[in-house]
Amino acid sequence: MHDVLFARGQMAVSLAFHIVFAAIGIALPLLMVLAEVRWIRTRDPDYLDLAKRWSKGAAVLFAVGAVSGTVLSFELGLLFPTFMKHAGPLVSMPFSLEGFAFFTEAIFLGIYLYGWNRVPEKVHVAAGLAVAVSGAASALFVTIANAWMNAPTGFRVLDGQFVDVNPLRAMATPFALHEVVHGTLAAYVATGIAVAAIHAVLLLRNPGSTFHRKALMLALLIAAPSALLQPLTGHYAGHKVAIGQPAKLAAMEQLERTQANAPVSVGPIVVPDALSILAHGSPSAVVTGLDAFAPRDRPPRVVKPLFQGMVFLGVILAAYAAWAIWLRVRARPLSRAFLLATAVVGPFGFLALEAGWGVTELGRQPWVIYGFLRTADAVTPMRGLVVPFTAFVVVYLFLSAAVIVLLRDQFRETTT
């Protein structure tokens, strides 16, 4: 059992590390393209400077994300070989498409970085747009593979073997839509808010800087609408979970017994009927509780605090986004209070992203392929997994420090 926990822990650490770079790889290229488009339209040198600085940051983070993503591919096969034995023919297509999108992103990122003043402006913008689209596509295909693990389709089981494999049907898993949309918006929120927070801090130090003011507004251009849409997509996701993974929904609320008029509880606060309404659209709807599942089939209790943390942070970010949009619509100046609030909520997007990913993965337990293959049965029989787990934790800490140092130098340049 200890080796199972270390195998899961190593995957968890790797995913928690990689998902940050995956999210930035979706949103930051879009920011650099928007900055360059503004430069072409206005010839304001601040926007040109922004596009170049953000592209340098995208290059650094792309490199680290590529390394950590490659490591995850090897870990999946080495730590969970039984999973790959059964699932390989079904998830190979989205993983192959993800590889194609990754190489496309790398090629056009090279053109973008080294194409300044070497290719026409429209071609350069198109290369940046290709980076943004391929980065989003890469995340899309990986998310589809994860959605299949939560709602597996495209096969049947015969004598313990997966037969009649259909990869296209597997990619059409009913969990694909809400996971892709919710995850993509989370990337825009997390990256946009974090970038806005950095420039808000620098703007507080230098209130007269037009550079940081323009950077903050561009970041909010993608973050604020996404933050307002996120609760809606989250509600849709919850509805799909209620249908396809009732054990996960019960764990998210720690609903002990199956009941109609199921409440939502947040600490000492209980809202009657709320869970029945949110899950099935009716206060009298029956919601499946944990009592419907054997103890060994129930997700861990940590799912509830992770879920509530995600929702709490999401609500704060949505309220902040509404404030930002109101200021923009009313053409109000960015007050010191707003800049301070921006600095405070800066990390909230990534915290919510990590919490949400924890709900997705831990809420599926004890299954690696929901309803078909248990995580404990998929782990390698090799012993001593504490050694690679410890080594990878050390490596990721080192990589984190290296990235912080590199990006710190970039931030210092913006203050000059």
- pLDDT at residue 160 is higher than 60: yes
**pLDDT tens, residue by residue, 69-78:** 888 888 888 8
Whole-number pLDDT of residue 32? 93
d(CA 77, CA 107): 27
Whole-number pLDDT of residue 228? 95
- pLDDT at residue 402 is higher than 90: no
Q: What share of the chain is helix, strand, coil (3-state, %, to 5)?
A: 75, 5, 20
What residues pair up with 369 in beta bridges, in sequence order? 373
**pLDDT tens, residue by residue, 10-36:** 888 888 888 888 899 899 999 999 999
Whole-number pLDDT of residue 7? 86
Question: Residues 369-393: what's their mean pLDDT?
Answer: 87
Whole-number pLDDT of residue 296? 92
- What average pLDDT does the structure give for the chain? 89
**pLDDT tens, residue by residue, 329-342:** 888 888 899 999 99
Whole-number pLDDT of residue 414? 53
Q: Which helix (H) or strand (E) holds 405?
A: helix 386-414
- The model's confidence at residue 5, banded by pLDDT at 50, 70 and 90, is confident
- The model's confidence at residue 1, banded by pLDDT at 50, 70 and 90, is low
* Contact yes or no for 248/303 (Cβ under 8 A): yes
- pLDDT at residue 305 is higher than 90: yes
Q: Which of 33, 26, 24 is closest to 218 using CA atoms? A: 33
Question: Residues 219-231: what's their mean pLDDT?
Answer: 94
Whole-number pLDDT of residue 409? 66
**pLDDT tens, residue by residue, 290-300:** 999 999 999 99
Task: Give the number of other CB atoms < 10 A from CB of residue 295.
Answer: 6
Peptide bond preceding 366 in cis form (omega within 30 of 0): yes
- pLDDT at residue 128 is higher than 90: yes
Question: Residues 317-328: what's their mean pLDDT?
Answer: 94
Question: Residues 390-407: what's their mean pLDDT?
Answer: 81
Question: Residues 388-393: what's their mean pLDDT?
Answer: 85
Whole-number pLDDT of residue 314? 93
Whole-number pLDDT of residue 295? 92
- pLDDT at residue 280 is higher than 90: no
Side chain identity at 352, as an amino acid letter?
Answer: A
Q: Which of 292, 290, 260 is closest to 274 using CA atoms? A: 260
**pLDDT tens, residue by residue, 186-202:** 999 999 999 999 999 99
Among the residue ranges 132-141, 371-380, 397-406, the one predicted with the least confidence is 397-406
- The model's confidence at residue 413, banded by pLDDT at 50, 70 and 90, is low
Q: Which of 14, 28, 11 is closest to 62 using CA atoms? A: 28
- The model's confidence at residue 410, banded by pLDDT at 50, 70 and 90, is low
- The model's confidence at residue 67, banded by pLDDT at 50, 70 and 90, is confident
- Helices in 151-209 by DSSP H: which ranges? 167-171, 176-205
- pLDDT at residue 411 is higher than 70: no
- pLDDT at residue 407 is higher than 80: no
